[in-house]
Amino acid sequence: MAPLHRIIVASDSFKGSLPSWEVAEAVEKAVREVCPGCEVTCLSVADGGEGTAEALCKAFSGEMLAIRVRGPLSDPVEARYCIAGEAGKRTAVLEMSQASGLSLVPPEKRNPLLTSTVGTGDMIADALDRGCRDFLIGIGGSATNDAGTGMLSALGWRFLDREGKELPPVGGSLGKIVSIDDRNVRKELKDCTFKVACDVDTPFCGPVGAAPVFAPQKGADPEMVRRLDDGMASFAKVIRAHTGKDIAGLPGAGAAGGLGGCFHAFLDATLLKGAEMVLRAIGFDEKAAGADLVVTGEGRMDFQTDHGKTPCCVLERSSALGIPAIALAGSVATGDQASRLPFLAILPVTPPDMPLETAMRRDVAFHNVYLTMKKYLQSHD
């Protein structure tokens, strides 16, 4: 490998152990020791999930706020989001995981028939009250499969059964919804634009839809998965009748348990690859131009990596600029498409004999990233 004069670090967080900026710090520490004359530029990136709001807030020089909202099980939680811009042209940058994320629900209480995105709607309502009319929203990391009914209920929509009674906005209600009441929807929404960062391209329902693919990790057993997917298919027909939009097979509509489809159908949102939106916002192409190497990564590289995750999007942009890229990961699934992505190298940072609970510790993860990067640079020096 030719001498390195300039390296760009643009890694996602290692979820549950290391935020993206600490991944970058660990890489930078290794570069400073092995290549002391090399310039290192650290960029905070994300894919629509954890870290998206902070990454974009830095890009927009915004302000992070903390508010109280309803959590996935309606208990109060603190949620942080960003407001950027001046009065009259204010943008809100939100992560639905702050209000409706899986990390907010203890494992023993996880049940996507009962969890709701109502707190995400609370965040949007708060931003509306503060004058925001443009919204950038990351929807990765959800605890929910309510098809966005919770979020919409916080903004004035009501979902009714055959008798005209309002249903609770949770996944278990989807199959019972026969009509939608939008008479009390917030009027300010007519003047709003929504760009939604999806970290997956999953359709709304069907064999590879939201429930079969993601509900099990949110606490669903096989019978719950069947009920949720049937409910999603039924609700998609109600949505089509009410809005004229068919979202059943729309890529990204199944993100966050159907929240992506809900945003598109009811709020005319544009669904984007989360990482791509962040890379554009931070000016990745301009900042990376002329670099010798790009370092990216995420906690686990597997079949999802090639479906809009950060490493894949960084690789695409780096390749377009003619810059080689390497990927660091806590672990790498062998034998699937992720391991065949055309990186210069894909480096698992966790020693094979290290217990997972040890590897997930923040200090251990930092050291593993640092040591892996150091060994790579030394072997190519």
pLDDT in tens, the chain (381 residues): 678 999 999 999 888 889 888 999 999 999 999 999 999 999 988 877 777 888 888 778 899 999 999 999 999 999 999 999 887 789 999 999 999 999 999 999 999 999 999 999 999 999 999 999 999 999 988 999 999 999 999 999 999 999 999 999 999 999 999 999 999 999 999 999 999 988 678 999 999 999 999 999 999 999 999 999 999 999 999 999 999 999 999 999 999 999 999 999 999 999 988 888 889 888 899 999 999 999 999 998 876 777 678 899 999 999 999 999 999 999 888 765 566 789 999 999 999 999 999 999 999 999 999 999 999 999 987
Residue 347: strand pairing partners: 328
The rounded distance, in Å, linking the Cα atoms of 119 and 140 is 15
Give residue 209's pLDDT.
Answer: 97
Find out whether 192 and 133 touch, Cβ atoms under 8 Å.
yes
Residue 136: strand pairing partners: 93, 195
Q: Do domains 6-45+282-379 and 52-275 have the same CATH topology?
A: no
Find out whether 170 and 73 touch, Cβ atoms under 8 Å.
no
Q: Which two tokens stand for residue 90?
A: 């204010």
**Which three-class secondary structure state does DSSP give residue 277?**
helix
Burial of residue 173 (number of CB atoms within 10 Å: 0-12, 13-18, 19+):
buried
Superfamily of the domain at 52-275:
Glycerate kinase, domain 2 (3.90.1510.10)
Give residue 300's pLDDT.
Answer: 87
Residue 68: strand pairing partners: 78
Residue 255: strand pairing partners: none
**Which three-class secondary structure state does DSSP give residue 117?**
coil
The rounded distance, in Å, linking the Cα atoms of 342 and 326 is 9
**Which three-class secondary structure state does DSSP give residue 265?**
helix
Find out whether 228 and 114 touch, Cβ atoms under 8 Å.
no
Break the chain into its structural domains and give their ranges.
6-45+282-379, 52-275
The rounded distance, in Å, linking the Cα atoms of 195 and 331 is 31
For the beta sheet containing 76-84, the strands, ordered from the edge strand earlier in sequence to the opposite edge, are: 63-70, 76-84, 90-95, 132-138, 193-198, 270-273
Cα→Cα distances 109→112, 119, 141, 218, Å: 10, 17, 16, 10
Give residue 336's pLDDT.
Answer: 58
Find out whether 98 and 141 touch, Cβ atoms under 8 Å.
no
Give pairs for 364-368: CB < 8 Å, separation 24+.
Answer: 364/17, 365/14, 365/17, 365/18, 365/330, 366/18, 366/22, 366/25, 366/26, 367/26, 368/330
Q: Most distant CA pair in the chain: distance in Å?
A: 72
**Which three-class secondary structure state does DSSP give residue 29?**
helix
> Where do runs of H (alpha helix) occur along the chain?
20-34, 52-60, 97-100, 118-129, 149-154, 210-214, 222-243, 255-267, 274-281, 284-288, 310-320, 356-359, 362-379
Q: At what angle do helices 362-379 and 20-34 cross, to 10 degrees?
A: 40
The CATH fold assigned to 6-45+282-379 is Rossmann fold (3.40.50)
